[in-house]
Structure 1
Amino acid sequence: MDIILLGIYSAIVWFVFIKKKWLPWNLTSQVIVVTIPIIALTVMILTLNVVAPSSADVRVFKYTVPIVPQVRGRVIEVAVEEGNRPVKKGDVLFRIDPTPYQQTVRGLEAQLSNAQAGQRELFEQLKAAKGKVTESQGGIQAASSRVREVQAKLELARKRVEQNKELVSTGAGNRFDLEKAETDLKEAEANLDAARSAEAQSRSAEVQSLASEQQIQQRLSAKVGPDYAQVVQIQAQLDNARWELDQTTVRAPVDGHVINLALRPGAFVASLPVTPALSLVEYTGQVIALFRQNELHQIKSGNEAEFILSTNPGHVIKAKVDSVIWAQGQGQMQISGTVPMTSVLTMPPSGFAVKFDVAEKDRDLFLAAGAAGQAAIYTDSVTFLHILRKIFIRVSAYTSYLVLKLH
């Protein structure tokens, strides 16, 4: 651009001094003619570097997502191709043989059915045990009533035996009646023993029923929420197995395009972060330009910006300043047991990065990861000079069409 301005200035000088001879062409005018562009260009460029700073170090950065499968197995299909073909989030990248995971799911489904049937059986057993407890308690009440009834008859039989003995001893009673009373007494004693034995059996049955009920309650007490613990455990294993089966189909986590695709059907992949199956480069990236430290004091978020890339010759991309990244490696102090190197202070100061927000109309433009170029930022000061920087940028954009090599 400087050459263009000098050329225009030279044409004006030639027209005024040589062709039209409106002014004399002598030593004084020659000195003035030479001095004016030097001073003017110097002032203009120095001012322009402050109010519309430029950078020759622009980079396009994009995140690369390594695709690591969640499960291991033999690859049976690769559904994508390497290159700039778009891959949408959720598209199938490749498939792993699902056979062992399907078998695991079927086995756990069978175990879950058995566990649920066992849980229902335990509930039925608990209901039966409670019924037996109630039944045995009813038997105890009946046996206790029978014991009291027989005890009353036994007391009556003893009194009759005593009465008949007294009557027989005085000669007023009948020997036959005494024998009958004694027989009734023995029968009552035998009935009492039988009633007590029945009561003991009922109490023993109650103890067994209560023990059985308690045992079933203990087995059912291992619960997670409303379900039996064993059922919950198998259900969790089944859910994980189904998730692993679903992970045999590997899908794209983001929009992008595939690079480093060496994966082929028949290859064995595993869930190891150090060995990704392929890499996916996101479409959306970041455009960053490096500026010298003394060029940033006028830059603010929202300032208009333009940049050009060597991969897109002739195209000026509009943007705005998103932010200035006020940090770089020379200002970092890491925790260590060593004294910091003083030689770091003698190194030339590095610039700071300015992050751009690409304008809406250029967001669909493909920006290659690692593409380099130039950029300019237009501050709010001395805006009439911005036109010069815009001309510089556009001239540089079109000169990018030139491939300067001799072979």
Structure 2
Amino acid sequence: MIVVLLNVYLVILFCLVKFGVVRFNLFWKISPVIVFILLLVGLFIPMGWGAPQGKALTVRNSVAIVPDVAGEVIEVPITANTPLKTGDVLFKIDPVPFQAKVDALQAKLDLAQLRVSETTRLKTTGAGRTFDVEQSQAEAEQLRAELGSAKWNLDKTVVRAPADGYVTNLALRKGARVATLPLSPVMAFIDTSDTIIGIEVPQIHARYIEPGQPAEATFKFAPGKIYQGKVESILQAVAAGQARVSGNAVAPEAIQSVPIVVRIKLDDSDFAARLPAGSTGTAAIFTDHVKAAHVIRKVLLRQVAITNYINPF
């Protein structure tokens, strides 16, 4: 962009000299260098923190699906990469052993409740002890709690979608046996209810960024288009600054100036929902400083949007 502005100045200078408006003396000969320095120092360098720009990445939360009960899978009614709603069935586990457990506990509870009524009746007639009544009541309460747990396990034989989204890389099939091991998820569920768009901004340009500031973004997925948005938050930590729990002494590493990540939210929520996870692009944030550079940044961002038609990188 600075080259374009400098060329515009050269054309104007040529016309002024050609028509005799100015004399082509030493000052006008070195004026392009002066204009270049003024543009660089007065506009383009401050534009970095007045309207910072960086790479954008679309991220979606991935939920590792681990069943709450173990057993044999009897049905997998979903298809990979097909949109699902919250509560849709992902797969079903054979409920027979869990139903049998519920029936057995229900029978024991019925018997325990009958014993409670009998011991209570005997106590009221003076032929029974208070201890027998209390013991039978405790047994009934214990069976009632076990029955509630068994019904919960039975309900968990049907595994449902935790949110709106889809299952990717689906390998689970009928007849497979699943376990409740947290390190062995049976499928990955991609949550599409919330679209996370992060921008990497160099630390030297992030000083004036605040939540609520306007932003614009263009994506490789939709070349030639600009989408408006706002800054949601500035992530206050990156991996390089994270202290990890360890029994070892500090192990110094080479310190690098990694970018700060800024999260934005697009105004077009429908387009944001259609963005595939991993979609990349370029975004700019317009702060309250160096507002004269905002127009230049908007032009540059639209140039990037146009080049996205042919630039795959």
Both structures adopt the same fold (TM-score exceeding 0.5): yes
Q: How does 1:122-161 map to 2 (within 5 A)?
A: 122-128=119-125, 130=126
For residue 4 of structure 1, report the CA deviation from its aligned partner. 4.0
Partner of 1:203: none
Partner of 1:260: 169
Report the Cα distance in structure 1 between the residues aligned to 2:272 and 2:265, rounded to whole angstroms. Answer: 13
Question: In the alignment, does 2:79 pair up with 1:81?
Answer: yes
Report the Cα distance in structure 2 between the residues aligned to 1:326 and 1:123, rounded to whole angstroms. Answer: 64
Match of 2:198 among 271, 283, 288: 288
Counterpart of 1:324 in structure 2: which amino acid?
Answer: I
For residue 363 of structure 1, report the CA deviation from its aligned partner. 6.1
Q: Report if aligned partners of 1:291, 1:353 keep a CA contact under 8 Å in 2.
A: yes
Partner of 1:142: none
Match of 1:104 among 94, 101, 105: 101
Q: How does 1:310-349 map to 2 (within 5 A)?
A: 310-334=220-244, 336=246, 338-342=248-252, 344=253, 347-349=255-257
Worse overlay, 353-362 or 371-380: 353-362
For residue 386 of structure 1, report the CA deviation from its aligned partner. 0.7
For residue 6 of structure 1, report the CA deviation from its aligned partner. 4.6
Q: How does 1:2-401 map to 2 (within 5 A)?
A: 2-9=2-9, 11-13=11-13, 15-17=15-17, 29-55=28-54, 57-83=55-81, 85-128=82-125, 130=126, 212-213=127-128, 216-222=129-135, 228-283=137-192, 284-334=194-244, 336=246, 338-342=248-252, 344=253, 347-359=255-267, 361=269, 364-401=272-309
Report the Cα distance in structure 1 between the residues aligned to 2:152 and 2:171, rounded to whole angstroms. Answer: 26
For residue 95 of structure 1, report the CA deviation from its aligned partner. 1.0
Deviations 1:263-296 (A, max 9, x none): 1111111111111111111111322222222212
For residue 337 of structure 1, report the CA deviation from its aligned partner. 5.2
Q: Size of the alignment, in residue pairs?
A: 312
Report the Cα distance in structure 2 between the residues aligned to 1:17 and 1:87, rounded to whole angstroms. Answer: 69
For residue 45 of structure 1, report the CA deviation from its aligned partner. 0.7
Deviations 1:112-154 (A, max 9, x none): 22222222222233234x2xxxxxxxxxxxxxxxxxxxxxxxx
- Percent identical pairs in the alignment equals 33
Deviations 1:314-366 (A, max 9, x none): 23222222222233334344455554344x3x533222222223325566542
Q: Report if aligned partners of 1:318, 1:362 keep a CA contact under 8 Å in 2.
A: no
Worse overlay, 361-370 or 381-390: 361-370
Report the Cα distance in structure 1 between the residues aligned to 2:87 and 2:108, rounded to whole angstroms. Answer: 33
TM (norm. structure 2) is 0.88
Counterpart of 1:281 in structure 2: which amino acid?
Answer: I
Q: Report if aligned partners of 2:220, 2:312 keep a CA contact under 8 Å in 1.
A: no
Q: Report if aligned partners of 1:112, 1:231 keep a CA contact under 8 Å in 2.
A: yes
**Cα 1:402/1:271, change in 2 over 3 Å:** same
**Cα 1:14/1:402, change in 2 over 3 Å:** farther
Report the Cα distance in structure 1 between the residues aligned to 2:251 and 2:115, rounded to whole angstroms. Answer: 72
Counterpart of 1:71 in structure 2: which amino acid?
Answer: V
Counterpart of 2:79 in structure 1: which amino acid?
Answer: E
Q: Report if aligned partners of 1:317, 1:362 keep a CA contact under 8 Å in 2.
A: no
Report the Cα distance in structure 2 between the residues aligned to 1:50 and 1:316, rounded to whole angstroms. Answer: 21
Question: Equivalent residue of 2:222, what SS?
Answer: coil
Report the Cα distance in structure 2 between the residues aligned to 1:251 and 1:404, rounded to whole angstroms. Answer: 38
Question: Equivalent residue of 2:261, what SS?
Answer: strand
Report the Cα distance in structure 2 between the residues aligned to 1:388 and 1:75, rounded to whole angstroms. Answer: 59
Consecutive unaligned residues of structure 2, counting only runs of 5 or more, are none
Report the Cα distance in structure 2 between the residues aligned to 1:103 and 1:361, rounded to whole angstroms. Answer: 48
Question: Equivalent residue of 2:142, what SS?
Answer: helix
Consecutive unaligned residues of structure 1, counting only runs of 5 or more, are 131-211
